[in-house]
Amino acid sequence: MKNTNSFVSFLAVLSFFFLLFSYPTKKLSEDKLHQKQFNEKYNIFAISKPANMNFCGEKVDLKSEDIWERMDKELLKNIYWQSNTMLYLKRANKFFPIIEPILKANNIPDDFKYLAVIESGLEDVISPSGAAGFWQILKSTAKEYGLEVNPAIDERYNLEKSTKVACEYLREAFEKFGSWTMAAASYNKGQNGISRLIEKQGTNNYYNLHLNSETSRYVFRIIAVKEILENPKQYGFIYREKDLYVMPKYKTIEIDATISDLADFATANGTNYKLLKQLNPWLRNTSLPDKSRRKYILKIPTDPSLLMFDDFETPEQEK
């Protein structure tokens, strides 16, 4: 009986220690499992150096540690700011088909479409300095190149016209500096600013110039966005064709007279004020004054799916 009691006591003690040590072991196992699942689903990778990179056919010397470090920075920033870069990809599908043929017609390398991406994210934004539109053109520059800018009309927001102005500026810069890379840098720093730096430092190579922080990053940002948008899956951006944004179908009409009320004009043309303004963001007011009978091209949406819902009835209409 004594031996039996001792054996029972021994089993009780053994069970106690088994329970005592098995709980933290189980907890540790769960933590490890969680960590394993996390690692499998989300990893932060260093970027493998691309075999070669270029801007407008002009080589980027990635053998230079300084140049690679600057490029790596911009690649990492754009790859791991996933939401922003995914929006670049989606908007590019909508707006590049407008930008690309204009660049081609003006003999400007196709790579410059990525300049518009880093300038504005392909949105009609305005900067603290007052630069506006996809190409971020200052009011003084717009007027110098023949764009109309006033309270009712701002052609910096006209994608076709502003792209042509950007082409003209870039062509002049290329003829002045002899390289597209320097032309791109001058878009940020200004042609006079770049000229002063070249004279002071004795080099016309962008990668050898000592620049302010913004201009020092500028061309690298363009090339990084180009690299990612041309090889999205390589950098982890997975999407379907149907996920990309598309330009709505529209027709164009020519106007050479004042439109006193754009909302009424929209209704008369089978659309509404919101859609008219979205397709013609250069219209900055509720009317289009045109005393000089200048010709304007307006885009009128023709996709019936854009007008999916009837307006809500007001209480007065319901009665």
DSSP codes joined into one string, 41-89: H----PPPPPS-EEETTEEE-TTSHHHHHHHHHHHHHHHSSHHHHHHHH
Nearest to 91 by CA among 249, 245, 238: 245
Q: Is the pLDDT of residue 248 over 70?
A: yes
Average pLDDT of the chain to the nearest whole number: 90
Alpha carbon 164 to chain centroid, angstroms: 20
The backbone torsions φ and ψ at residue 274, rounded to the nearest 5 degrees and listed phi first, read -60, -50
User: For tokens 């009128």, what's the residue?
Assistant: 300
Other CB atoms within 10 Å distance of the CB of residue 143:
14
* pLDDT for residue 315: 57
Quick one: fold of 53-243?
Lysozyme (1.10.530)
At residue 15, the pLDDT reads 59
Look at residue 311 and tell me whether its pLDDT is greater than 70. no
**Quick one: angle between helices 159-177 and 113-120, nearest 10?**
110
Q: Are 232 and 239 in contact (CB under 8 A)?
A: yes
Q: With bands split at pLDDT 50, 70 and 90, how would you rate the model's confidence at 72? A: very high
**Confidence grade of residue 43 (pLDDT, cut at 50, 70, 90):** confident
Q: What phi, psi does 228 have (nearest 5°)?
A: -75, -45
**Would the pLDDT of 319 be above 60?**
no
> What is the CB neighbour count within 10 angstroms for residue 305?
8
Q: What is the pLDDT of residue 233?
A: 94
Residue 45's pLDDT band (cuts 50, 70, 90) = confident
139-150 tens-digit pLDDT = 999 999 999 999
Segment among 2-16, 35-49, 90-104 with least mean pLDDT: 2-16
pLDDT category at 5 given cuts 50, 70, 90 is low
Both tokens of 91, joined, read 């908007």
Q: In which band, very low, low, confident or very high, does the pLDDT at 27 lie, cut at 50, 70 and 90?
A: low
Torsion of CA 233, 87, 156, 271, to 10 degrees: 120
Q: Residue ranges of the domains in the chain? A: 53-243, 250-318
Strand residues in the chain grouped as ranges (E): 53-55, 58-60, 250-255, 296-301
Do residues 249 and 302 make contact, with C-beta atoms less than 8 angstroms apart?
yes
More reliable by pLDDT, 2 or 260: 260
Q: For the segment 86-133, what is each residue's pLDDT rounded down to a tens digit?
A: 999 999 999 999 999 999 999 999 999 999 999 999 999 999 999 999
